[in-house]
Structure 1
């Protein structure tokens, strides 16, 4: 139970162990009744702009189920205590209901996160609970293997669509490829690839990437690196480099497929690119690693303009020094999980966290896979948690 007082246009609520204040107009705007929020769509129906700026409640009271406020015209609003705590803004009450993320290095090879295709594809609640476990695993580790996948494009595509709809790009929707340069990208060769994230030239890089090796006669190995773990080492060992890579906007481009697709992707001025490390502006928590040296565009006046707040005669040398520090961590044996993919076991990566690469190879290597948007897979996880773990919606 919470105590309330009324003073100077503010409702003060005691939500143990802190006291939160709520403006009258904010409370009226966030009434949860079915006249103000549509019961099916959960969208606001209240006309915010008809609320007087100086609105005051007629009365307020505590109830077991929450704070009850009666507004002019006897309109009653009920605000559950947990809802008030979750949406407290003065002060913010930080509370994360997300599973804890686990940072990892090469030792993850001792027990890599793995789920079962058979479980995920089961109908009804049993399959949905397995899907919840899978997506929670991806959130926790940034990647997951899926065992028992039939080594066919159709089964793999069905697996991807179990999460959400596929994100189509200039590579297509669901793709199947080998080392035939079918697209203007180094992935379509037999060359080795250093670890990287995909779509650095997009404003919104794809969220998940799922790969499945269908058949092969090569000895190519896949390399995975936890970008969040690498960033934590950079922050500890080279804080100035961490700061630079969190602020410098690095341009990227993709134009190798122009002759067939007609697309040229590049980060244009005034954004002129994005930092390697992106943080939540409220919590300063690292939320995205965006790094692909293959797609890094030439650094020139646009780079300097975009980073004018940091510009000085030594910016370029500092930039390359910071990249070298980060690359050394990404390249270390301690950071790299090296694995030989096999038909029947797919792997899915959080493209905002885990970097991937491969060794050079000879022979045949036939892959398939697809992207899923970041918003889509996170929304799917949120919906499953709401269904099975009683997690709250946004309202």
Structure 2
């Protein structure tokens, strides 16, 4: 398994008579069971965030009057002085567009109500004031519209310059083989008992790219229930929830005893090995793609650049009645980066499912 999108990816090596729990799809709405990698009971899930406001929309504490920032404005922007050295500047059009009053922003749905295209091009403050609860701006509109921006909200969303963006990031832990001594793990009972256990599980995935759940009962029902702690289970070309063994019931090497190399694949799946008796193999390989990429970037910047720029077409064509490929069909580079920060955010590596590299320029073939 290769960590790529910092989610749970899985690879398994199998041989011999490895036995995986299997049953046919029922006629009722109940899902058929698991998928790939000599693991059974695989559930595909979509991570769901708690039904609470985001950090930038959460209730924010007031600042004492003695500690109020200094504010000033001109025809183009409003300046907020947090201290004698730290200032944030906000364009007038940006502030008006992000008004948090009940007419412009729905406090329950967290959705915008303001039509951006109705904001006058010459929008400017008539008055700016530092209030204990935030920055108050009275605009030069016919109704003298008044906006109030909580101080903490302004600080979190400051863009000129950014102030707290890095502080809000989750620490990503890069790891090598020593992680096997104490891999990130949370107990099944803890996850099922409440949101604190679920948060611990998801935090492990966010920080390390994977997490084990120990003590899960070896049944499809328990696996499905565990999956639904994260979110609803989505349909895939393999089904919604299913089991399998190495019988080539599907046109995928996951349904064989062939060993699979490290790859990023099905990063949204949850795998549970239910039975492994009378067989050999079935070992799981875990690799931190982010760690590997960090080493490559240091030792061979040119190779890192190529893997960041050359798109890789891919396909799944083992079933005679179906054909899957990415959109766009040209695919995506192995290494994906944030458009703003240029931080590495994804590692897509699956050499087995790679399509023909017919789009390479002649001078790049050997380098790639």
Q: In the alignment, what sits opposite 2:182?
A: 111
| Mapping 1:182-331, distance limit 5 Å | 182-198=249-265, 207-217=267-277, 218-220=279-281, 221-257=283-319, 259=320, 262-267=321-326, 272-300=330-358, 303-304=359-360, 311=361, 313-319=362-368
Query: 2: CA distance between counterparts of 1:32 and 1:101?
Result: 33
Q: Distance in 2 between matches of 1:251 and 1:211?
A: 26
Match of 2:45 in 1: none
> CA offsets per residue over residues 216-274 of structure 1, 9 Å max, x none?
122321111011111111111111111110111111111012x2xx22112466x5121
Under a length normalisation based on structure 2, what TM-score does the superposition of the two structures give? 0.77
Q: Does structure 2 conserve the Cα–Cα contact (< 8 Å) formed by 1:116 and 1:147?
A: yes
Q: Pick which of 189-198 and 73-82 moved more.
A: 73-82
- Equivalents in 1 of 2:86, 2:363: separation in Å? 47
Secondary structure at 1:265's aligned position in 2? coil
Partners of 2:167 and 2:243 in 1: CA distance: 38
1:2–1:240 distance in 2 versus 1, CA, 3 Å:
same
Pair 1:80-2:129 in alignment: no
Q: Of 166, 172, 187, which residue of structure 1 is paired with 2:239?
A: 172
CA distance in 1, matches of 2:218, 2:230: 19
| Secondary structure, counterpart of 2:286 in structure 1 | strand
The equivalent residue for 2:50 is none
| Structure ranking higher in strand proportion | 1
CA distance in 2, matches of 1:47, 1:267: 35
Aligned to 1:32: 100
* Deviation sequence 1:291-329 (CA, Å, 0-9, x none): 1011000111xx23xxxxxx4x4311001xxxxxxxxxx
Q: Is the 8 A contact 1:15 1:81 kept in 2?
A: no
Shift of 1:175: 2.2
Distance in 1 (CA, whole Å) between partners of 2:199 and 2:326 is 35
Q: Secondary structure of the equivalent of 1:88? A: coil
Q: Which region of structure 1 is more displaced relative to structure 2, 275-284 or 15-24? A: 15-24
Aligned mates of 1:244, 1:148 — CA distance in 2: 43
In structure 2, what is the Cα distance between the partners aligned to 1:4 and 1:162? Answer: 46
Q: Distance in 2 between matches of 1:237 and 1:164?
A: 40
When structure 1 is superposed on structure 2, of 22-31 and 137-146 the one drifting more is 22-31
Coordinate RMSD, CA, aligned: 1.6
The CA distance in 2 between the partners of 1:20 and 1:108, in whole Å, is 42
Equivalent-residue separation in structure 2 for 1:267 and 1:129 (angstroms): 36
Q: Match for residue 2 of structure 1?
A: 69
TM-score, normalised on structure 1?
0.72
Correspondence for 1:129:
196
Q: 1:21 to 1:268 in 2, by over 3 A?
A: closer
CA distance in 2, matches of 1:47, 1:13: 26
Greater RCO (CA < 8 Å, at least 6 residues apart): 2
Q: Which residue of 1 aligns with 2:8?
A: none
Bigger shift: 83-92 or 229-238? 83-92
* Contiguous gaps of at least 5 residues in structure 1: 199-205, 305-310, 320-395
Q: Please give the alpha-carbon distance, in whole angstroms, between the structure 1 residues aligned to 2:340 and 2:153.
A: 20
Runs of 4+ that moved beyond 3 A: none
8 Å Cα contact 1:157/1:174 also seen in 2? yes
Q: Aligned pair count? A: 295
- Give the CA deviation at 1:96: 3.6
